[in-house]
């Protein structure tokens, strides 16, 4: 059962948040292990799994970006992740040239202490990247999601590919922004390295 089916929703990216929450609470009341204490030991894992599915579905669908990302994976039939693989997104080809400069600056920052102008440069670059990141998210949430929802069966592959590209760009931008923050020494130790 996929996440859309869990909530009896069509495979569309426009989702009413309040309605989703209402359905989630109703489903949680039916599936949460609290209300299935009497089941035999052998069935307990199945009870936990069922509740886990509802929780995962809600967590994914309530967030527009996670929802789009899930839809792409669902359409491509890769909802189970491959283990031991890449944990860092690759640079999308379109960004490669642009990112070259930033990677240089990052390598320099790693090599030694930052002087004021190098620091100001990194701060500026990060601001630019954050703006791009926000723009990419807005594109996924807005026009690209609408395009998928409106697409005819023939238009779907192209709509999906556009979503996929935008998501890949966004994911990559996030890692570079995190690298920049680290180079600037802004990361509090022990905090928030895994961003989603």
Interface residues with other proteins (CB under 8 A)? 25, 28-29, 32-35, 37-38, 45, 48-49, 51-53, 55-56, 58-59, 80-85, 87, 188, 190-194, 196
**Nearest residue (CB) to other proteins, 85 versus 153:** 85
CB 30 within 8 A of CB 106: no
Give the tokens for residue 100.
């070259």
CB 196 within 8 A of CB 67: no
**Nearest residue (CB) to other proteins, 30 versus 156:** 30
CA distance 179 to 108: 12
CA distance 39 to 129: 52
CA distance 190 to 196: 16
CB 31 within 8 A of CB 52: no
Least distance between other proteins and beta carbon 123 (Å): 21
Least distance between other proteins and beta carbon 57 (Å): 11
**Nearest residue (CB) to other proteins, 72 versus 159:** 72
Least distance between other proteins and beta carbon 100 (Å): 23
**Nearest residue (CB) to other proteins, 29 versus 156:** 29
Give the tokens for residue 62.
């309530």
Least distance between other proteins and beta carbon 153 (Å): 29
Least distance between other proteins and beta carbon 119 (Å): 23
Task: Tell the burial category of 135 from Cβ atoms under 10 Å away from its Cβ (0-12, 13-18, 19+).
Answer: middle
CA distance 87 to 43: 34
């Amino acid at each position: 059962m996929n996440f859309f089916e869990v909530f009896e929703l069509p495979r569309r990216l426009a989702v009413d948040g309040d309605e989703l929450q209402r359905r989630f609470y109703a489903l949680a009341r039916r599936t949460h292990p609290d209300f299935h204490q009497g089941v035999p030991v052998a069935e307990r894992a199945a009870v936990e799994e069922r509740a886990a599915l509802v929780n995962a579905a809600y967590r994914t669908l309530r967030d527009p970006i996670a929802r789009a990302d899930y839809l792409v994976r669902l359409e491509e039939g890769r909802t189970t992740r491959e283990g031991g693989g890449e944990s860092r997104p690759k640079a999308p080809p379109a960004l490669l040239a642009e990112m070259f400069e930033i990677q240089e600056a990052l390598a320099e920052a790693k090599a030694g202490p930052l002087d004021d102008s190098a620091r100001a440069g990194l701060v500026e670059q990060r601001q630019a990247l954050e703006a791009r990141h926000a723009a990419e998210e807005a594109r996924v949430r807005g026009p690209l999601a609408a395009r998928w929802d409106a697409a005819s069966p023939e238009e779907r592959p192209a709509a999906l590919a556009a979503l996929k590209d935008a998501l890949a760009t966004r994911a990559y931008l996030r890692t570079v922004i995190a690298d920049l923050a680290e180079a600037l020494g802004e990361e509090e130790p022990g905090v928030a390295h895994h961003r989603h």
